[in-house]
């Protein structure tokens, strides 16, 4: 069967492209999705206790991109939500990222912003060249803070020492010389009022969009043809892993429900040094639900399983470059998103990339 447009993957990247093709071009588009649901990793659902959970870990929307915010606002109203994270260090819950409040609580001080900068500058390790995530942290905050907040957390998350990981991993964590304990400082922040799945359903309400769930693209690849293909699946799978299987980090998500209204002080609490899990999320504190019970999620990073995080090492980037060379030879095939581009994407960046692809290549 022939289609003018085929989109592989029903995550935010694929749904954005499909919505634009169906709505703005008024063309029919086929979306092929391996999972049993749309939304990719932002998928949320109600558990047996009626609590809305994020099935693939917490997702908090934040952006400074007004166009992206206005685009998604066509499909959902928002609850204002300013994300705050606590980290358990030395038995105490301390604000994360590193702010004036963090330093004062950690060292039992009462520094001013100017004094904090002097304090951090004395801790920072001078470096001629910054090559790894360990270098980034040491050059910013020094050895002690690095060990308390970053070293073990990063080892748990990636299974390797931060000295072996690309600078991008820890570079995303801000350092603030003020009392702002919000995890993100973007202009637009919030949670979809009725959940991400409802937002995604609204994105594909157009009758021009046909979705095949529970369908592996590789299994129907020889049964369909297309004029244009937008591929958001794993890059190595598209090419039959001819240059080897790309390495990813996975997560085992363990949900627990308790007969109490509140489990912890913040929506997310990180555990860099204790336990095998990296963090605990309490969903009611994200979604403003009311219930006599509460559901939490513990995340246990692991090497095998569903691909969530592209592995940030030089060897893995070099391997992906072999697939990029193959992609450059394709005609009317576009590779989009976290798996296809083998890079970590925030939600707003995924949507921005999808809108750019549509406007520059498909429109």
Q: Which residues pair with 98 in a beta bridge?
A: 175
104-118, 161-175, 192-206, 215-229: least confident range: 161-175
Evaluate if residue 347 carries a pLDDT over 90: yes
Picking from 1, 47, 41, 38, the residue whose alpha carbon sits closest to that of residue 19 is 38
CB burial class (10 A; 0-12, 13-18, 19+) of residue 346? middle
State how far the Cα of 18 lies from the Cα of 3, in Å rounded to an integer.
Answer: 13
State how far the Cα of 359 lies from the Cα of 238, in Å rounded to an integer.
Answer: 24
State how far the Cα of 210 lies from the Cα of 14, in Å rounded to an integer.
Answer: 12
How many CB atoms neighbour CB 20 within 10 A? 21
CB burial class (10 A; 0-12, 13-18, 19+) of residue 205? exposed
Secondary structure of residue 273 in the 3-state scheme = coil
State how far the Cα of 15 lies from the Cα of 209, in Å rounded to an integer.
Answer: 10
pLDDT digits (tens, 9 = 90+) for 202-241: 999 999 999 999 999 999 999 999 999 999 999 999 999 9
What Rg value do the Cα atoms of the chain yield, rounded? 22
The distance from CA 28 to its chain's CA centroid, rounded to whole angstroms, is 29
pLDDT in the model for residue 315: 92
Query: Percent of the chain beyond pLDDT 70?
Result: 100
State how far the Cα of 180 lies from the Cα of 182, in Å rounded to an integer.
Answer: 6
Q: What is the mean pLDDT of residues 281-298?
A: 96
Query: 0.85 cut: is pTM over it?
Result: yes
Sign of the torsion formed by the C-alpha atoms of 28, 34, 36 and 38: negative
In this structure, are residues 237 and 335 in contact, taking their beta carbons and an 8 Å threshold?
no
| Peptide bond between residue 97 and the one before it cis (omega within 30 degrees of 0) | yes
pLDDT band at 174 (very low <50, low <70, confident <90, very high): confident
Q: Which residues pair with 18 in a beta bridge?
A: none
Beta 44-46 vs 268-270: how paired, if at all? unpaired
Considering the chain, what is the average pLDDT of its residues?
Answer: 96
Residue 123: which H helix or E strand, with range?
Answer: helix 113-123
> Which strands form 279-282's sheet, in the order they lie side by side?
92-96, 85-89, 268-270, 279-282, 294-302, 248-258, 309-310
State how far the Cα of 303 lies from the Cα of 332, in Å rounded to an integer.
Answer: 34
Evaluate if residue 171 carries a pLDDT over 80: no
Backbone angles phi, psi at 72, to 5 degrees: -70, -25
Q: What is the mean pLDDT of residues 144-164?
A: 93
Domains and CATH numbers, the chain: 2-79+187-245+311-362 (3.40.50.720), 99-171 (no CATH)
């Amino acid at each position: 069967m022939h289609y003018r447009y085929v989109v592989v993957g029903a995550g935010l990247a694929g749904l954005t492209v499909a919505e634009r093709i169906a709505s703005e071009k008024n063309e029919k588009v086929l979306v092929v999705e391996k999972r049993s649901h749309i939304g990719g990793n932002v998928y949320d659902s109600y558990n047996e206790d009626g609590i809305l959970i994020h099935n693939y870990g917490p997702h908090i929307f934040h952006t400074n991109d007004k166009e992206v915010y206005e685009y998604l606002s066509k499909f959902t109203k928002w609850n204002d939500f300013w994300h705050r994270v606590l980290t358990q260090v030395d038995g105490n819950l301390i604000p994360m990222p590193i702010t004036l409040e963090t330093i004062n609580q950690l060292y039992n001080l009462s520094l001013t912003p100017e004094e904090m900068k002097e304090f951090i500058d004395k801790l920072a390790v001078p470096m001629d060249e910054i090559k790894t995530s360990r270098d980034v942290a040491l050059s910013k905050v020094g050895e002690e803070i690095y060990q308390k907040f970053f070293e073990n957390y990063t080892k748990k998350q990636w299974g390797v020492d931060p000295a072996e990981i690309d600078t991008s991993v820890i570079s995303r964590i801000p350092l603030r010389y003020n009392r702002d304990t919000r995890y993100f400082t973007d202009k637009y922040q919030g949670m979809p009022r009725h959940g991400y799945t409802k937002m995604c359903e609204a994105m594909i309400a157009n009758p021009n969009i046909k979705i095949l769930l529970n369908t592996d693209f590789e299994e129907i690849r020889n049964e369909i043809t297309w004029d244009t293909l937008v591929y958001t699946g794993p890059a190595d799978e598209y090419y039959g892993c001819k240059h080897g299987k790309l390495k990813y980090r996975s997560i085992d998500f363990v949900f627990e429900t308790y007969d109490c209204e509140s489990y912890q002080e913040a929506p997310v609490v990180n555990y860099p040094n204790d336990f095998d899990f990296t963090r605990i999320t309490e969903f009611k504190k994200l979604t403003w639900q009311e219930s006599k019970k509460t559901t939490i999620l513990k995340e246990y990073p692991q090497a095998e399983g569903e691909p969530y995080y592209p592995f940030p090492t030089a060897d893995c980037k070099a391997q992906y470059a072999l697939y990029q060379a193959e992609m450059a030879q394709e005609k009317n095939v576009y590779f989009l998103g976290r798996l296809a581009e083998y890079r970590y994407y925030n939600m707003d960046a995924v949507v921005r990339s999808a809108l750019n692809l549509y406007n520059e290549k498909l429109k």
